[in-house]
Amino acid sequence: MMLIEETAPAAEALPVASLREHLRLGSGFEIAEDNAETAALTGYLRAAIAAIEARTGKVLLTRRFRMQLDDWRDRLGQTLPLAPVVTVDRIEIDDGAGTVTTLQPDGWRLLPDMQRPTILPAGVILPNVPRRGFLTITFTAGFGDTWASVPADLSQAVLMLATRYYEDRSFEGSANAMPFGVSALIERWRQIRTLAGRGQREVR
């Protein structure tokens, strides 16, 4: 499976002001509002968001993704690795020889789920993918376009982790370790990852 993030969260959607206030309350000192400091806070927020999303499989701010698979994991239904999925924008099958077929929306449907959003066939099974071919699923996922749309516990976890990054500028000891308070906040959002790609391919 190859998963590509086609769009990134807009800078104005990041809670820079909230992080600055969080840091002020924790240290008792005002945080500078110059461009360099704002850019640094933005970087810590993006790093914290990426870490929280990687641990939970939840997309905090809405954006578009493209997933490429050798074949359906299961032709009875293909789970998506991220949630919440807002829309499945396009499904294409490439036969490996240059011919790309776009599946019509009436041939499948999205089953929304906060843990395992799934693409289901309108009929019995999803269309065949040629042996040398692959399929591409483009979808949009996220809680919303603004930070106010992010659940409170996930929002707080991002602020706490970004603060940790700010206080440990070298990231030594914190790049892989998740602070206990952050882990506790995100625990209920974590999911058991399912394989998104090829299952047992049929003999054709």
Edge-to-edge strands, sheet with 2-5: 2-5, 63-69, 134-141, 85-94, 100-102
Please tell me whether residues 55 and 150 are part of one structural domain.
yes
Is pLDDT at 200 greater than 60 in this prediction?
Answer: no
* 166 and 26 Cβ atoms separated by less than 8 Å: no
Please tell me whether residues 159 and 178 are part of one structural domain.
yes
Residue 27 pLDDT grade (very low, low, confident, very high; cuts 50, 70, 90): low
Please tell me whether residues 91 and 33 are part of one structural domain.
no
Q: pTM for the full model?
A: 0.87
Helix (H, G, I), strand (E, B) or coil at 189: helix
Torsion of CA 199, 194, 88, 135, to 10 degrees: -30
123 CB-contact burial (10 Å; exposed 0-12 / middle 13-18 / buried 19+): exposed
Q: Report if residue 20 sits inside a domain.
A: yes
Distances from the Cα of 39 to the Cαs of 11, 30, 156, 182, in angstroms?
Answer: 10, 16, 20, 23
Q: Report if residue 200 sits inside a domain.
A: no
Q: Report if residue 2 sits inside a domain.
A: no
H helices of 28-88, in order, are: 35-56
Please tell me whether residues 38 and 132 are part of one structural domain.
no
pLDDT tens-place string over residues 48-66: 999 999 999 999 999 999 9
Please tell me whether residues 153 and 98 are part of one structural domain.
no
For the chain, how many structural domains are there in total? 2
Is pLDDT at 195 greater than 70 in this prediction?
Answer: no
Residue 202 pLDDT grade (very low, low, confident, very high; cuts 50, 70, 90): very low
pLDDT tens-place string over residues 78-115: 999 999 999 999 999 999 999 999 999 999 999 999 99
Give me the sign of the Cα torsion angle 83, 89, 92, 98. negative
Please tell me whether residues 126 and 29 are part of one structural domain.
no
113 is in which domain, residue-wise? 70-141
pLDDT tens-place string over residues 121-139: 999 999 999 999 999 999 9
Please tell me whether residues 130 and 83 are part of one structural domain.
yes
Helix (H, G, I), strand (E, B) or coil at 105: helix
Q: Report if residue 198 sits inside a domain.
A: no
